[in-house]
Amino acid sequence: MDRNWVIRWGMVLSLVLGLAVGNVTAQEQQFSADISMGIQGQTMNGKVFVGPTHYRMDMEQAGEKLSVIVDREAGLTRVLIHGMKQYLEMKSDDPMSLMNDPFQSIIYTESFAEKKSLGAEKIGEYTCDKYVLTYGDQDLMTYWVSQKFNFVIKIINNSSEGTFLDLTNLAAGPLDDDVFATPADYAEMIPPGEEPIEVPDWAVDIPSAPEMTPPFEKNVAAGDMFRIPVVAGQSVWVKAANRSDDEVLARAIPFKDGMPLKEITWYNNFGMKGSICDRRHEAAVEADEIVIRIFKGSLTVFGKYSPMTEGQAAAGNEFTYDLISDEHVVTRIVNLADGESEVVIDYSKDGQEVGEDEIGPEKFRTVTIETGETDQRTLSPPGDKVIFRVTKGEVLFKLGQFDSFEW
């Protein structure tokens, strides 16, 4: 079961239903319907139930039955994986989720695009008001709102082929409260990437492993291990060459106080054929060293440091980054505060701040980082400077630009 798929579709429902419900009575909001949704050619079918404050979608994907329940008042989404008797819970309005998913992006798109009415049009037996969201000369989203149910029953993402939503066979009527309840014997699932970290047996040998300072070239084989110090203002790059004909498995794993930052299998196999290199951008406050461990095969490992811009800022202050090329900006933001930290990302060009009509509203550019957490993202700035405004807590920034396809 692809948990990212589950999360994605759970958020999709909150998007569509949150967008669609208008000023209607509680009785009129209650109905059920058949639902069909697709993202870039992948389609799922199921049922949707809409109540006064909650929504539920029942779907089946790859033989796995799941339900998505959205609490509109609390702003929470629960994804129930019935075969495992578990559920995932997340915020329904997470900005990154809204921006990164084709369906969720409709709310974000409405914040800066022009909404045009295309008049009335019938979808099946339902008379609908048809709208299109445009930006410049491009049609981004087209959707239809049922006049009878005051609800979106069809969406087409014009900028992503095979991405759509259809509601059919709508049936009005009251719904039982149990429809929106989580079974008492269901346990909360640990989100992907947040499982308890298991320290491997070989970690006891890390202190005695040789330390290599980049740049270097080192021949290694299965069972070999060495360390690269994490240095402020630098990222660690490693690549493989002269691979053996046998299978090769090599990982670059950041450690802090003898503990890996994540499960070992989370990290890429940079020894795999076709891999350009692995780039570790952890800051010195996050990791002491990058441990290179060879699990299978033999190879030559090349290592180097690559410069990055690094600095700190607390609430009420700014941190700026001047672009040095046309490449994307790898951005790592580390929360240094005991509580939550928050950063708003802005841009400027030729000394003038870029307006919201180009970069979208502030809430979609706000990064919230929980205690002890780090946010890493890649930015494509519409200007020549990135401005980070810290509105809560204190953070460390580490940024750099490079060609992803070059060493």
pTM over 0.85, yes/no:
no
Task: Give the lowest-confidence range in 87-101, 111-125, 272-286.
Answer: 87-101
The mean of the pLDDT values for the chain is 84
Residue with tokens 């700014």: 318
Any bridge partners for residue 221, and if so which?
298
Q: CA gyration radius for the chain?
A: 25
Q: Are 134 and 157 in contact (CB under 8 A)?
A: no
What's the Cα-to-Cα distance from 296 to each of 190, 271, 299, rounded to whole Å? 30, 9, 10
**pLDDT tens digit sequence for 287-311:** 999 999 999 999 999 999 999 999 9
Pick 31 or 38 by higher pLDDT.
31
Domains of the chain, CATH where assigned: 3-188 (2.50.20.10), 202-307 (2.60.120), 310-401 (2.60.290.11)
For residue 5, what pLDDT band results from cuts at 50, 70 and 90?
Answer: very low
**Does residue 219 carry a pLDDT above 90?**
yes
Q: What does the pLDDT read at residue 29?
A: 65
Structure tokens at 323: 């672009």
Interatomic CA distance for residues 185 and 44, integer angstroms: 27
Q: Are 164 and 155 in contact (CB under 8 A)?
A: yes
Q: What does the pLDDT read at residue 2?
A: 40
Q: What does the pLDDT read at residue 140?
A: 84
For residue 285, what pLDDT band results from cuts at 50, 70 and 90?
Answer: very high
What's the Cα-to-Cα distance from 202 to each of 94, 153, 228, rounded to whole Å? 39, 56, 17
Three-state secondary structure of 251-310: EEEEEECCEECCCHHHCCCCCCCCCCCEEECCCCCCCCEEEEEEEECEEEEEEEEEECEE
- Tell me the range of 91-95, 148-152, 173-177, 354-358 where mean pLDDT is highest: 173-177
C-beta neighbour count of 48 within 10 angstroms: 22
Q: What does the pLDDT read at residue 134?
A: 86
Q: What does the pLDDT read at residue 363?
A: 81
Pick 5 or 161 by higher pLDDT.
161
Pick 178 or 20 by higher pLDDT.
178
Task: Give the lowest-confidence range in 15-19, 114-118, 289-293, 311-315.
Answer: 15-19
